[in-house]
Structure 1
Amino acid sequence: MNDTLTLAEQIDLQIRTGGPISVATYMGLCLTHPSKGYYRAGDPIGGAGDFITAPEISQMFGELIGFWLVNLWQQMGEPKAFTLLELGPGRGTLMADILRVACRAPGFRDALHLNLFETSPNLMAEQKARLEVYDPKWLQNFDNFEDGPVLIVANEFFDALPIRQFVRKETGWHERQVGLVDGKRTFGLSPTPIPPAAMPDPVANAEPDTIFEVNFAAAEILSRLGKTIAKQGGSILAIDYGHARTQTGETLQGVRRHAYAAVLDAPGDTDLSAHVDFDALANVARQAGLAAQPLATQGQFLTRLGIGERAAALSGANPDAAAEIRAAHDRLVGQDQMGSLFKVFCAHSPGLSPAGFAP
């Protein structure tokens, strides 16, 4: 496709020549187009970007995950070699905070093989600047891990993977597509019906015009990683917004400059995401041979790991910053802020007892 065209022009040309495209195809082009995709072209994180993630709010977030990882490593008998992989590492802030505390554990640093999975060249440069001392390697796929356990961290990764949407009609379920009407991008439906029996039981007989979202990309990635973890030992910790049970409803959203934006406007300049179906992820993990912990909210998880005590210690050491530390604490765990919106998912090889989850 002609790269001199804007991404919007390329998408519209693809629709004109090949017909309507799936929501997943549209999301994939918007987010990861090789030269004009959202995650390829700029730096979306922070005050000057479009959104702020938990690691950018406070060092406490990464520090507690660092302690959590050390605890798992110790449960596995302190293996002399293991892989620590972060999916979508952003600016490298989370991993820098994790390793600052985790590497204090004797033997952890020497055993560490740090892997990162990233698609943004700009963010990769920031990750290298922050993490170069740990000799990171950037993965191109999920098939080549070194021997030893694999510990995986994914903060706000799965929500950015392309979803497919289906709408219930009298004739069955129809896939939602992106097409053109009078030259303007709009949603429509595939004429080919999908029988209700093909849908998961909780949504198969939903009311007319109900939308159901499926993230096949997330399932594929977790399945591949889960099989590696089942074989070599380890865990995956995923923190994201989403729902605990498979359900209907549209969650696809666009964000630009810290405000909601129309999904079909400004392709490549708008962050697109959708809520994660943690119930579906847990089923995939179990099929891969892993155990799945009961889903926790971010507030529950961080509180159980001791964020209150950590905030008090930081405030005691930095009394001038006490108000700022308290505000960060409240934003991360508050039920009216990130504490209940974000969920924490953990799947692991049998025999481990990850901290932070209900017994």
Structure 2
Amino acid sequence: MSLLDELLTRIERQGPLSLADYMALCLTHPRYGYYMSGDPFGAPRAEGGDFVTAPEISQMFGELIGLWCADTWQRLGSPDPCLLVELGPGRGSLMADALRAARALPGFSEALQVHLVEVSPALRRRQKEALTGHRVTWIDSLAELPDGPLLLIANEFFDALPVRQFEQTAGGWAERVVVADGEGGLAMALAPPSPLNAALIPPGLRGAAGGSLVELCPQGLNLAAYLGERLAQQGGAALIVDYGPAASTAGATLQALRRHRRADVLADPGSADLTAHVDFESLAEAAAAKGAAAFGPVEQGVFLEALGLDARAAALAATAPAKAREIEAARHRLAAPGQMGSLFKALALAAPALGTPAGFPDAGAGRA
């Protein structure tokens, strides 16, 4: 049996699937889920994989995140112990680079209790290899964390959380669902409109024109609310780096990626990464409603350059002249507007007393 067979059986017995349920099963089904058995990371024409993330492009990314955490720890009053948590750590590259950079600040490494939130057995194995020599605790969810001040990193995590899609119709907002196409495959359809759907749509988008699509990520909003409450009560900060617009917008962005190319979202479920743009505005509002301050989002290029990306690239090139072009290419890809620099954004959530974190030069006093 394949995941497609299981989905068709479920639809036959229970009716249409929400897009969020479909996405969750494709990514994290215990047997067939995309993230559960293989390693999806890799550069085109080099390591295979389906996509490449910033930590795999250059060590500079993880190092600067580590320095951001160290600076934030100082601003928090250097709590000991302090939880350092990463959501969806990939191969462990970001955390390995961050911990190496963290040694630059006396006392910081010693105060840290590192926790990685990872559900994939295959990726846990890769992370253990990358973090050999470090004391790390692996957990399945944030609910397993002990109490205490928190520094949390989420790089390209929220974009993989399941989304729902709603379409504005003559009868109101109707949810898009996954159904059997009658030919052994899957298709999209619209469930009957419901007045309850309108309450889910961001206020600024409820009056969108007919035919407009709006994506929502309930799991992401719940997570942002949880972080907002925890940070307000126990102290700390969370750094979310992902891709999407700064403000809530209409439009469908869900896509499938296979071998660095777009694929059909409904074809061969479980074989491709499914990802959607992050609604940073809604995440910030969800966290602020629970008492946290929100800063940004700012473009990734602006954020990294404020943290010293150019200086770090120059230092690396000076110590390894033969790799100077490679280092410059990585710096350009991470920060240039036409590359990851503008599409990707950084959003910080923090305890209200923290003040403006490093890397957010235009964030002002934040929202709380």
Same fold (TM over 0.5): yes
1:34 maps to 30
1:173 is aligned to 173
| AA aligned opposite 2:350 | H
Q: Does the CA contact (< 8 Å) of 1:142 and 1:225 recur in 2?
A: no
Shift of 1:133: 2.0
Q: Which amino acid aligns with 1:88?
A: G
Query: Is 144-153 or 201-210 further displaced after alignment?
Result: 144-153
Superposition misfits of 4+ residues, deviation over 6 angstroms: none
3-state DSSP of counterpart to 1:272: strand
CA offsets 1:42-67 (integer angstroms, 9 cap, x no match): 10001311000000000000111111
Alignment of 1:89-100 (within 5 A): 89-100=89-100
* Alignment match, 2:158: 158
Equivalent residue for 1:325?
Answer: 327
C-alpha distance in 2 between matches for 1:182 and 1:272:
24
Pairing 1:21–2:17 present: yes
Q: Report the secondary structure of 1:61's partner residue.
A: helix
The gaps in structure 2 that reach 5 residues or longer are none
Q: Which residue of 1 aligns with 2:359?
A: 356
Distance change (3 Å), C-alpha of 1:313 and 1:7: same
Query: Residues 212 and 250 of structure 1 are in contact (CA less than 8 Å); yes or no, is this contact kept in structure 2?
Result: yes
Contact 1:81/1:147 (<8 A) preserved: no
Question: 8 Å contact 1:161–1:215 — kept in the other structure?
Answer: yes
CA drift of 1:291 comes to: 0.3
> Which amino acid letter does the alignment assign opposite residue 190 of structure 1?
A
CA deviation after TM superposition for structure 1 residue 35, in Å: 1.1
Shift of 1:188: 0.2
Counterpart CA distance in 2 for 1:167 and 1:51 is 29
Tell me, yes or no, if the aligned pair for 2:38 and 2:122 is still in contact at 8 Å. yes
Q: 1:347 aligned to 340, 346, 349, which one?
A: 349
Given that 2:226 and 2:287 are in contact with CA atoms closer than 8 Å, whether structure 1 keeps it comes out as no
Asked whether the equivalents of residues 81 and 113 of structure 1 are also in contact (C-alpha less than 8 Å), the reply is yes
Deviation at 1:41, TM superposition (A): 2.0
For these two proteins, the number of residue pairs brought into alignment is: 355
Aligned-partner residue type, residue 173 of structure 1: W
Q: How many percent of aligned residue pairs carry the same amino acid?
A: 47
1:196 CA displacement: 7.2
Distance in 2 (alpha carbons) for counterparts of 1:149 and 1:95: 18
Match 1:338 to one of 336, 340, 347 = 340
Partner SS for 1:100: helix
Secondary structure of 2:133's counterpart equals helix
Verify the 8 A CA contact 1:196 1:205 in the aligned structure 2.
Answer: no
1:77 to partner: Cα distance: 1.6
Q: Secondary structure at the match of 2:114?
A: strand
The residue type equivalent to 2:164 in the other structure is R
- Deviation, structure 1 residue 88: 0.2
Aligned to 1:190: 191
- The answer (yes or no) to whether the contact 1:82–1:147 under 8 Å persists in 2 is no
8 A contact 1:153–1:237 mirrored in 2? yes
Cα drift, residue 146 of structure 1: 2.9
**Alpha-carbon distance in structure 1 between the residues aligned to 2:59 and 2:180:** 46
1:195: Cα distance to partner? 5.7
Q: Deviations over 1:109-168 (max 9, x none)?
A: 211100001111111011112224221111222224334310000000000000010011
Distance, in Å, in 1 between the alignment partners of 2:197 and 2:42 is 43
Q: What's 2:275 paired with?
A: 273
Q: CA RMSD in A?
A: 1.2
CA contact (8 A) 1:26 1:178 kept: yes
Equivalent position of 2:316 in the other structure: 314
Indicate how the Cα distance of structure 1 residues 195 and 145 shifts in structure 2: closer, same or farther if over 3 A, else same: closer
Name the structure 2 match of 1:12. 8
Task: Give the equivalent residue in structure 2 for 1:50.
Answer: 50
8 Å contact 1:234–1:349 — kept in the other structure?
Answer: yes
Q: Which residue in 2 is equivalent to 1:102?
A: 102
Determine if contact 1:50/1:256 at 8 Å carries over to the other structure.
yes
Q: Work out the CA distance in 1 between the residues paired with 2:30 and 2:161.
A: 16
- Mean alpha-carbon deviation: is it higher for 56-65 or for 133-142? 133-142
SS in 2 for 1:351: helix
Shift of 1:230: 1.5
SS in structure 2 at match of 1:134: coil
Q: Does the residue aligned with 1:133 lie in a helix, a strand or coil? A: coil
Partners in 1 of 2:264 and 2:282 — Cα distance? 27
